[in-house]
């Protein structure tokens, strides 16, 4: 059995395994944390790390939303989401530049499953296992790339990922968040990303987050440390 088939079967198995769970879609959005990936809400925000980013989402009813993120250095991300009874399914497209001059484009379909829907909240943590399938493309974005002679002009990979997002409310206003993702695919592609941060809810609709993340994969690495502000409507 190929790696791609194993990933696809695992994804389908997860869908069916949670289909009979408590309906997370029926949870009122106002009862969810601002960082909850299953929250369907219209919002807009700004983020600054090494560059500025404008991001936001538009909710179309109680179970559908579109997220868009655009950075001043031409990096972008578009995500369409639908909230099922077992969790949320996302279809996304994105492009980001890694250190060293490699541009990575990715298309993915995946899900977050809230374990709180099963009554699982270890020591107050809200855990969201994630898994999905993706297509990743890496290419040299400029001729100054240090390893341009050794790096193929373009590498494409079909594969998948697994991950975990954790949210820990420590008060009515403060939330700790952590995340990690492992990915693998064809053409010997592999990688991981980790991140952590803290969110301060200044009001029911306004939040400020400080975060850091690190990405390391076959195409390159990327470090981010920044701050963001989000307003919900």
Residue 95 has pLDDT above 90, yes or no: yes
pLDDT, one tens digit per residue, over 104-138 is: 899 999 999 999 988 899 999 999 999 999 999 88
pLDDT, one tens digit per residue, over 190-211 is: 999 999 999 999 999 999 999 9
129 compared with 145, residue with greater pLDDT:
129
Task: Name the residue range of residue 162's domain.
Answer: 3-232
150-165 residues labelled b (16+ CB within 10 A) or e (exposed): ebeeebebbbbbbbbb
27 compared with 230, residue with greater pLDDT:
230
Instruction: Calculate the CA 36 to chain-centre distance.
Output: 11
| Nearest one of 134, 128, 132, 168 to 39, comparing CA atoms | 128
Q: Look up the pTM and report it.
A: 0.81
Residue position matching structure tokens 């868009």: 68
Q: Are 73 and 97 in contact (CB under 8 A)?
A: yes
Residue 105: CATH number of its domain: 2.40.128
pLDDT above 70 coverage of the chain, percent:
80
pLDDT band at 167 (very low <50, low <70, confident <90, very high): very high
**Diameter of the chain measured on Cα atoms:** 54
* H/E segment holding residue 7: helix 3-18
Distance CA 11, CA 81 (A): 17
Residue 16 has pLDDT above 80, yes or no: no
Q: Report pLDDT for 58.
A: 97
Residue 149 has pLDDT above 60, yes or no: no
pLDDT, one tens digit per residue, over 30-88 is: 689 999 999 999 999 999 988 899 999 999 999 999 999 999 888 999 999 999 988 99
Q: Report pLDDT for 8.
A: 52
Q: Report pLDDT for 109.
A: 97
Residue 12 has pLDDT above 90, yes or no: no
Burial class for 31, CB neighbours closer than 10 Å (0-12, 13-18, 19+): exposed
Distance CA 100, CA 89 (A): 33
Q: Report pLDDT for 102.
A: 80
Q: Total structural domains in the chain?
A: 1
């Amino acid at each position: 059995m190929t790696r791609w088939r194993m990933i696809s079967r695992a994804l389908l198995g997860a869908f069916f395994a949670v289909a009979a769970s408590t309906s997370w879609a029926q949870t009122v959005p106002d009862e969810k944390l601002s960082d909850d990936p299953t929250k369907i809400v219209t919002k807009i925000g700004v983020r600054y790390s090494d560059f500025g980013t404008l991001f936001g989402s538009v909710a179309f009813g109680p179970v559908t939303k579109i997220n868009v993120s655009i950075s001043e250095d031409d990096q972008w991300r578009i995500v369409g989401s639908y909230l099922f009874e077992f969790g949320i399914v996302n279809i996304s497209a994105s492009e980001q530049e890694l250190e060293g001059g490699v541009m990575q484009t990715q298309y993915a379909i995946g899900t977050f499953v809230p374990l709180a829907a099963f009554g699982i909240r270890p020591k107050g943590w809200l855990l969201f296992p994630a898994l999905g399938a993706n297509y990743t493309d890496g290419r040299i974005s400029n001729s100054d790339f240090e390893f341009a002679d050794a790096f193929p002009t373009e590498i494409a990979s079909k594969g998948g990922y697994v991950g975990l997002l954790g949210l820990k409310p420590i008060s009515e206003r403060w939330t700790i968040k952590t995340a990690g993702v492992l990915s693998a695919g064809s053409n010997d592609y592999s990688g991981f990303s980790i991140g952590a941060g803290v969110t301060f809810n200044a009001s029911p609709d306004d939040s400020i987050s400080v975060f850091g993340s690190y990405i390391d994969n076959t195409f390159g690495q990327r470090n981010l440390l920044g701050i963001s502000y989000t307003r919900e409507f």
